[in-house]
Structure 1
């Protein structure tokens, strides 16, 4: 395969990763909208649409592995391809977080529930913005921007703490709401983890662009399923 053809195919995969990222961004914002409005119909749509995210992820993965196996990529190309594989997986996992929030909406049922929606909406807004810019940095190999974006995670963490306190206070004030408040803890947990995974994408951007692989900001592995 001529070098220019390989580069073109790598660029096509980059475009597919941006599409996948857009799907995850929309799923996240829609899940928060469903939560705000207690819209179980929208929540079910998000939950079912997660299959599209999964299929896109596997199609991208297959395309990358095929290039690796059938062509003769240079070391620089292999570095980029392995980074794309990692980013692809991170995006699919973020889609799981959106699906988890949608599932919460379907389980809330009727009646009173404390939803710290102001903090939740702001968490989602910042996390999605971070993700959008991180993907832009990834495809343009802007490692300087990739190093700067994770600093914004502190804002998400602070909003998480604010929402957490409100949820716990509500739980203490009305123990009958314990099931609902536990679900709210899952929501803010998923948003906080989504922002953490943006940092992982930034790490892979730095690796792809410079060959340096190091941890910008550590995160724990957690299950997003409710």
Structure 2
């Protein structure tokens, strides 16, 4: 019976990894579509989003089933809670990738600023790397890596702020840029939110190992473990 339970847990973590790879690819493609004004690529991201959503639902249903039928001990329950919460964060990342894809379709034909678009592409590369790193940290249960990844969220915040400021300045100089430039701010904001969800997953990695919820960016740790 225990062997079957362990296999089911292992499958949950595998599904999380697969979902993470899909989300990471969506993030990369969404910004690529935006900066190249590739409407068809943007549509493919939107069409693939239900697949990501369905995988998240499957993981959640299986997790609830394991809790209800297996009555896991505290350490196993932490593993189940972690995969449920982390999958929910991945699903939200996918939603933000869809938002970027929709901005591509909405902004087709608007006047462009290639310097800002390059900054967005650079920001997207950094965010994608963080997503890939957090997936690895999750699989390897690497708390040190999780804390380091979470600390890099501040850099992403700074990039988003810089792009926002640059965009506002350019809109003041060139009124024809206003319509398209609002999408630059939207894309930067969505990338910043994706980075926030990466931090959330880092916190769940720490929780999985320690049973303590830790807000990594504020160093605010609850005194009592949940489980």
Task: Calculate the TM-score normalised by the size of structure 2.
Answer: 0.91
Aligned residue number for residue 188 of structure 1: 188
- How many residue pairs align between the two structures? 217
CA distance in 2, matches of 1:113, 1:64: 46
The answer (yes or no) to whether the contact 1:142–1:209 under 8 Å persists in 2 is: no
Contact 1:108-1:180 at 8 Å conserved across structures: yes
Moved more, 18-27 or 119-128: 119-128
Is the aligned partner of 1:50 residue 2:49? yes
Q: By how many angstroms is 1:90 displaced?
A: 0.2
- Quote the Cα distance in structure 2 between the aligned partners of 1:162 and 1:215: 25
Matched, 1:110 2:109: yes
Give the whole-Å Cα distance in 1 for the aligned partners of 2:155 and 2:13: 29
Distance in structure 2 (CA, Å) of the matches to 1:42 and 1:128: 18
Distance 2:149 2:108 in 1: 37
Structure-1 separation of matches of 2:68 and 2:133? 31
CA deviations on 1:26-85 (whole Å, 9 max, x unpaired) are 001001111121011111111111111111111111111111111121110111111111
- Deviation of the 1:140 alpha carbon: 2.3
Q: Which runs of 4+ in 1 moved over 2 A?
A: 174-179
The within-5 A match list for 1:60-75 is 60-75=59-74
What is the TM-score when the length of structure 1 is the normalising length?
Answer: 0.91
Give 5+ residue unaligned stretches, structure 1.
219-226
What is the aligned partner in structure 2 of residue 221 from structure 1? none
Shift of 1:119: 1.5
SS of corresponding position for 1:109 = coil
Question: RMSD between aligned alpha carbons?
Answer: 1.3
Aligned residue for 1:130, secondary structure, equals: helix
The offset of 1:193, in angstroms, is 0.8
Please list, as runs of the form range in 1=range in 2, the aligned pairs for 1:131-210 lying within 5 A after superposition. 131-210=131-210
Distance 1:130 1:111, change over 3 A: closer
SS of 1:110 mapped into structure 2: coil
Q: Is the 8 A contact 1:146 1:203 kept in 2?
A: yes
Matches within 5 A, 1:211-222: 211-217=211-217
Q: Which runs of 5+ in 2 are unaligned?
A: 219-227
Contact 1:147 1:202 in 2 (8 A): yes
In structure 1, what is the equivalent of residue 92 of structure 2? Answer: 93
CA distance in 1 between partners of 2:110 and 2:186 (Å) = 19
